Amino acid sequence: MRTGFSDDEKAKIGAYIRKPREEHHISQSELAEKLQVDRAAVCQWENGKTTPKPLRLRQMAELFDTNVDSLLDPPQERPISPLLENLTSALEMFASRTAEITRIQRRKEDTLDLGNSKSNDE
C-alpha cells in the first residue's frame, strides 16, 4: 500500500471516510471507539491532516461494507442530471416517432377505406 499522500489526497481521503461514516449514521466518537483510536484521530483523518494506517482502513472498509480502494479513491458516479437529460431526449424522440407512425397508419387506413367505399359505390 502506498504511503506519503499529498495534502490534496489526504483531504480527499478524509472526505471519502466521512461520507460512509455519515451514511451509516455513526459519529466520529463511535467510529473511534469501534476502531480503538481517539476521536481526535478520526477528526484528523476526515480533515485531511493525517491518513489512517492500513489496519484502520481495512477495519473501516469492513465496518462500512466496502473495500479499502473505495475509501482511498471511490468510483466516480456520473451526475444524474445529464442522465436524465439523455433519457428525456430519447423519450421525446420516441414519442415523436410513435406519433409519426400513428399518423402514417391512419392515412393508410383512410386510403384503404376510401378505396373500399369507391368499389362499393360502383
Mean pLDDT score across all residues of the chain: 86
The helix (H) or strand (E) run that includes residue 63 is helix 54-63
On whether both 42 and 18 belong to a single domain, the answer is yes
pLDDT greater than 90 at residue 48:
yes
Task: Check if the beta carbon of residue 72 is closer than 8 Å to that of residue 57.
Answer: yes
- Beta-carbon contacts of 56 under 8 Å, excluding residues fewer than 6 positions away, are 35, 37
On whether both 13 and 28 belong to a single domain, the answer is yes
On whether both 86 and 60 belong to a single domain, the answer is no
On whether both 83 and 108 belong to a single domain, the answer is yes
Structural domain count, the chain? 2
pLDDT at 19: 92
Average pLDDT over residues 66-73: 86
Q: What's at 120, amino acid-wise?
A: N
Residue 120's pLDDT band (cuts 50, 70, 90): low
Average pLDDT over residues 30-38: 97
- Beta-carbon contacts of 14 under 8 Å, excluding residues fewer than 6 positions away, are 45, 46, 47, 48
Residue 1's pLDDT band (cuts 50, 70, 90): very low
Q: In which domain, by residue range, is 51 found?
A: 7-72
